[in-house]
Chains A and B, each alone.
Chain A
Amino acid sequence: MASAAFAVSSPAASAVAARSKARPAYSPPPQLLPILPPGLNISCVTAWWFVDARRCLGEEGARGGRDAAWGSRGRLANYAKNFGRVMMALAVDVSRFEGVPMAPPDPILGVSEAFKADTNDLKLNLGVGAYRTEELQPYVLNVVKKAEKLMLERGENKEYLPIEGLAAFNKATAELLFGADNPVIKQGLVATLQALSGTGSLRLAAAFIQRYFPEAKVIISSPTWGNHKNIFNDARVPWSEYRYYDPKTVGLDFEGMIADIEAAPEGSFVLLHGCAHNPTGIDPTPEQWEKIADVIQEKKHMPFFDVAYQGFASGSLDEDAFSVRLFVKRGMEVFVAQSYSKNLGLYAERIGAINVVCSAPEVADRVKSQLKRLARPMYSNPPIHGAKIVANVVGDPTMFGEWKQEMEQMAGRIKNVRQKLYDSLSAKDKSGKDWSFILRQIGMFSYTGLNKTQSDNMTDKWHVYMTKDGRISLAGLSLAKCDYLADAIIDSFHNVN
């Protein structure tokens, strides 16, 4: 599935021709002429040289790769003896980026690309987690439009934010998350930095962990959002998984989760989804959260929350913050990454925050200063636009109320769609299978329990685009399409394996 973002339009042959056009004309030395076809230029010759390396340099030299070919002067001299000084000069003209392979397409964003290419009328995009209206259109919240208009009228400047971001935003975001009257806020225990949405917040925290807790590792749920692994890999923080999803029940493997958290080395970082687990939609119950907090405290682990859906899961900002507030109430030091991509529909504005709850104000100051030091060589200071929108919306009681209403509507639409899907499945599926897990899951996503082959069937036969782990984005589903989707799921589940 090639992403359109980097689609290749010209085949290799014309690429060669293009190379010849772009480079100055070159005449090969006479001794090469019998070997070289006409029209080839430097790069082709050098490529041929590498292919030929095996013959000239022997297995060992060739296996050593690029460096072996010209790292050892002896081998190079030997080769040069055969083909003359000119070949040596050719060799060092090879591009430095010769060894750069094509990266694989993104497993999530690639789904949308494939969907776009599909011409079938019945097609349905349940891939990426971006909210759609009942008409399956993207949605800019009215309150966001209002805020932007206000900002435009005020004609504010675009000066650099400080490294830690917009102060008004940082205040608003911490209060939203912990509750404005939470002691940790009143006592100045929270280090908050505006960051580039959830990803950027997670990355700052990961870089901080790598620098200040170099022996520690992170444990992440199995499964989890795909990019979590990329983030910790690129930040060079080792990670392993704890059990989470139980395919037998299409629910939470709570015993496994607790056991694995317990088994992790003391002082591990435990990555938890604050609400609306991505990709499964399965959240622990309040009682289960208590037990999770117990074991984390016992093992002196550090809880690390990814909160990408506050307000979007249940419709209530406070309810969705329950798990985070529980841990904080126990006096634990906690990392929390936030995102406003979904709940304020600000996806491309890249607005979020990393919060670290510390045991004392001066600790929070130190932690904040070091997070800034990590941000500065990444992007200097964060983008202003999204921060201003959030600050304006949250700072004005009317707009804040309007936001809460729109958020309830979005969450409400998803709940309705869940119900309708469940109703359709139960009505149509005569096998007696229990589909109620769909109602127990929460948030934008549902783990259907379909495996890869079955998911492929969904796409190939029914033109329903989803990720291969069986995840569907309910945000991309309308009431009108629930019956069709139910047919597709039933067919894939029962008739394919």
Chain B
Amino acid sequence: MAALSLAASSAIRRRLLLPPRLQAARAMATSLFGHIEPAPKDPILGVTEAFLADPSPDKVNVGVVRAALLSSPLLSSPLFFSPAIAAGAYRDDNGQPVVLDCVREAERRIAGNLNMEYLPMGGSMKMIEESLKLAYGEDSEFIKDKRIAAVQALSGTGACRLFADFQKRFLPDSQIYIPSPTWSNHHNIWRDANVPQKIFTYYHPESRGLDFAGLMNDIKNAPDGSFFLLHACAHNPTGVDPTEEQWREISHQFKVKKHFPFFDMAYQGFASGDPERDAKAIRIFLEDGHQIGCAQSYAKNMGLYGQRAGCLSILCEDEMQAVAVKSQLQQIARPMYSNPPVHGALVVSIILNDPELKSLWLKEVKGMADRIIGVRTALKENLEKLGSPLSWEHITNQIGMFCYSGMTPEQVDRLTNEYHIYMTRNGRISMAGVTTGNVAYLANAIHDVTKPN
């Protein structure tokens, strides 16, 4: 269609105005998509959609907390629950989304300056280098020896998916052991990658803590050389993490059974406030000589959610193997998205490469973690003050963004219908959506639906 002449262009335009030959066919034709069912709502993101669809006149704008907007007697205290309660996105004490100062500064340096040429298939080398230092340690021998195959990935999801596809392609007889419960998308990822899944015991409902005996049992009973998905810190959705001693025992048992540990680390820095501390489990396994896989995400700890910034790494035998494995990870990425998005990667590498920005980041991430720890304490104390006969220790024992409240789906439904509090039906509360302003209201609502009749 090179260089259309004026006559040709008008001819085309005229043609398009004429009734097309088979236009009537559309009205009568059955769709080729007749057999396609509507998909069920995503259990997490679907909650946000439900919230947005809520026609209640008492509903307030997402995240906005202004007393003036609240007219309903039901919501007499100046607060509202944004969908942050449901999806795991951090909010400040006013219920507002947060962009870290270090991120704003990094973006200032990026805007309008750099070109947008394609990254290599494996992504930004700078971002990868910094990510490995965070996960494996600043002075890690594995980094020095170039033994780690690593690629930039589409946040945690993308990293897990690359690994799952890699597993399918090169270890076709393997399965993945996934903790019960886990982030629901883990199941989707390994299922769509066609890797068979098994569950291993994790959560102990009675104590709202870790079922360590059950966990160790399942590790022992799994066939030698099984693949296990482990949450490095701040388990999602329960917030229940093994202690350091328990991690050491798990690592030892993994050695005995020659299991492969794949760590999903979505909250480094965000759990305890200290990235080194949050990487402790991984470091224990590395000390014990395991070859690990690791998915990292900057969605929460750098607040880069929608930028989809993350990293997948696999510790290999040696440099040659790392090069080969990386090349194969790139082969998987190429027909999925060709190369990863640059913006988030630039932000990450600018922040982590600049000592001032990095220390600002460390401060800010600790601030976020501290706030969460603070509201956990407040929620527990409020419930106790209300005279709840139930034990709420688990709220402060658990760590990270989420709290597994132990509420039943029916109780959650009541919270939604009667109090317009939106959360996932497994009773998971995103503590990030709790503020000093709304914690009393939340405690009251929880007490109301959980108190014995």
Q: Mark B52-93, 1 if CB is under 8 A from A, else 0.
A: 000000000000000000000000000000000001010000
**What is the minimal beta-carbon distance from B285 to any residue of chain A, in angstroms?**
15
Given the interface contacts A101-B324, A297-B22, does A386 sit within 8 Å of B341 by beta carbon?
yes
A451 contacts chain B at the CB level, 8 A cutoff: no
B303 touches A379 (CB 8 A): no
Whole-angstrom distance between the Cβ of B140 and the nearest chain A Cβ: 11
In the complex, residue of chain A having the shortest beta-carbon distance to the beta carbon of B289: A24
A15: B residues at CB distance < 8 A: 318-320
Contact B157 A380, beta carbon cutoff 8 Å: yes
Given contacts A106-B334, A203-B335, A333-B31, whether A283 and B1 have CB atoms under 8 Å apart is yes
Q: Is A258 an interface residue (CB 8 A)?
A: no
B36 sits at the interface (CB 8 A): yes
Q: Are A196 and B341 in contact (CB under 8 A)?
A: yes
A140 to B114, CA, bound (A): 8
Which A residues are CB-close (under 8 A) to B192? Answer: 207, 374, 377-378
Query: For B340, what are the chain A residues with a Cβ–Cβ distance below 8 Å?
Result: 350
Is A442 in the interface zone, CB < 8 Å from B? yes
B265 within 8 A of A: no
Inter-subunit contact A100/B325 (CB<8 Å): yes
B42 touches A329 (CB 8 A): no
Over the window 30-57 of chain B, the binary record of Cβ atoms lying under 8 Å from chain A Cβ atoms (1 yes, 0 no) is: 1111111111001001001100000000
Closest residue to B96 on the A side, CB-wise?
A: A157
Is A472 at the interface (CB under 8 A from chain B)? no
Q: Is A257 an interface residue (CB 8 A)?
A: no
Selected from B49, B141, B157, the residue in CB contact (under 8 A) with A377 is B157
Bits for B140-183, please: 1 = Cβ < 8 Å to A, else 0: 01100111000000110110010001000011000000000000
Q: Bound state CA distance, A325 and B15, in angstroms?
A: 12
CB-CB under 8 A for A97 and B307, given A18-B319, A333-B33: no
Q: CB-CB contacts of A118-148 with B at 8 A, as 1s and 0s? A: 0000000000101000000011100011001
- The answer to whether B336 touches A377 (Cβ under 8 A) is no
Decide if A247 is an interface residue (CB 8 Å cutoff).
no
A346 contacts B116, C-beta separation under 8 Å:
yes
Kindly state whether residue B215 has any CB partner on chain A within 8 Å.
Answer: no
Contacting residue for A19 out of B16, B318, B338, CB 8 A:
B318
Q: 1/0 per residue A399-417: CB within 8 Å of B?
A: 0000000000000000100
- Taking a contact as CB atoms under 8 Å apart, the answer to whether A330 and B116 are in contact is no
Give the residues in chain B near A348, CB-CB below 8 Å.
116-119, 339, 341-342
Q: Which residues of B contact A97 (CB under 8 A)?
A: 170, 314, 316-317, 321, 324-325
Pairwise interchain contact A372-B33, C-beta atoms closer than 8 A: no
Whether the Cβ atoms of A379 and B157 lie closer than 8 Å is yes
Per the 8 Å Cβ criterion, residues 8-42 of A in contact with B are 8-10, 12, 15-16, 18-19, 21-24
Of A361-369, A474-482, A484-492, the one touching chain B? A361-369
Instruction: Annotate A175-219 by CB proximity to B: 1 below 8 A, 0 otherwise.
Output: 000000000000000000000110110010001000010000000
Judged by a CB distance under 8 angstroms, whether B198 is at the interface is: no
Determine whether the beta carbon of A347 is less than 8 Å from that of B39. no
Size of chain B's interface in residues, with CB distance under 8 A?
Answer: 111
- Tell me how far the C-beta of B53 lies from the nearest C-beta in chain A, rounded to whole angstroms: 12
- Contact between chains at B305 and A330 (CB < 8 Å): no
B177-191 interface code vs A (CB 8 A; 1 in, 0 out): 000000001001101
Contacts of A100 in B (CB 8 A): 170, 321, 324-325, 328
> Which of B105-113, B206-214, B398-406 faces chain A?
B105-113
Say whether A95 contacts B316, CB under 8 Å: yes
Residues of A within 8 A of B339 (CB): 348, 350
A128 vs B98: C-alpha distance when bound (angstroms): 39
Report if B386 contacts A (CB, 8 A): no
A221 CA to B97 CA, complexed, in Å: 47
**A382 near B: Cβ within 8 Å?**
yes
Assess whether A22 is in contact with B324, with CB atoms less than 8 Å apart.
no
List A contacts of B42 (CB < 8 A).
Answer: 163, 372-373, 376
Q: How large is the interface on A (under 10, 10 to 19, 20 to 34, 35 or more residues)?
A: 35 or more
Given A148-B111, A350-B339, does the pair A19, B317 have CB atoms closer than 8 Å?
yes
The distance from the CB of A190 to the nearest CB of chain B, in whole angstroms, is 13
Q: How far is the CB of B158 from chain A (nearest CB, A)?
A: 5
CA distance A96 to B116 in the complex (A): 37
User: Which of these binds chain B: A79-87, A230-238, A390-398, A461-469?
Assistant: A230-238
**Residue B426, interface by CB 8 Å:** no
Enumerate chain B residues within 8 angstroms of A297, measured Cβ to Cβ.
Answer: 22
Contact B36 A6, beta carbon cutoff 8 Å: no
B390 within 8 A of A: no
Stretch at the interface among B2-10, B130-138, B438-446: B2-10
Report the nearest A residue to B165, measured CB to CB. Answer: A234
**Considering the chains assembled together, what is the distance between the CA atoms of A406 and B305 in angstroms?**
32
**Distance A258 CA – B305 CA, assembled complex (angstroms):** 47
- List B contacts of A452 (CB < 8 A): none
- Which single member of A19, A207, A350 contacts B341 (CB below 8 Å)? A350
- Alpha-carbon separation in the docked complex, A363 to B108 (Å): 44
B330 near A103 (CB under 8 angstroms)?
Answer: yes
Return A24 CB to nearest CB of chain B, in Å: 7
The yes or no answer to A61 lying at the interface (CB within 8 A) is no
Q: A43-B317, A162-B45 are in contact. Are A347 and B116 (CB under 8 A)?
A: yes
Given pairs A234-B336, A333-B32, A383-B308, 13 additional interface contacts (CB within 8 A): A15-B319, A92-B224, A155-B104, A160-B306, A197-B338, A285-B1, A329-B23, A330-B20, A331-B23, A347-B117, A363-B33, A366-B36, A370-B36
Chain A residues with a Cβ under 8 A of chain B: 3-6, 8-10, 12, 15-16, 18-19, 21-24, 43, 92, 95-103, 106, 109, 128, 130, 138-140, 144-145, 148-149, 151-152, 155, 157-163, 196-197, 199-200, 203, 207, 212, 227, 230-231, 233-235, 267, 275, 283-286, 297, 302, 313-314, 319-320, 322, 325-326, 329-333, 341, 345-350, 356, 358-360, 363, 365-367, 369-370, 372-374, 376-386, 415, 439-442
23 contacts between A and B (CB under 8 A): A6-B326, A12-B320, A22-B141, A23-B289, A101-B328, A102-B327, A103-B328, A138-B117, A157-B98, A158-B99, A160-B305, A163-B45, A196-B341, A199-B337, A230-B334, A322-B12, A348-B117, A372-B42, A379-B154, A379-B157, A380-B155, A381-B306, A384-B306
Instruction: Please report B residues at the A interface, Cβ cutoff 8 Å.
Output: 1-4, 8-9, 11-12, 15-16, 20-27, 29-39, 42, 45, 48-49, 87, 89, 97-99, 103-104, 107-108, 111-112, 115-122, 141-142, 145-147, 154-155, 157-158, 161, 165, 170-171, 185, 188-189, 191-193, 224-225, 258, 260, 289, 291, 299, 303-308, 314, 316-321, 323-328, 330-332, 334-344
User: What 7 A-B pairs have minimum CB-CB distances, sorted nearest first?
Assistant: A331-B26, A384-B306, A348-B342, A196-B337, A377-B188, A230-B335, A369-B39
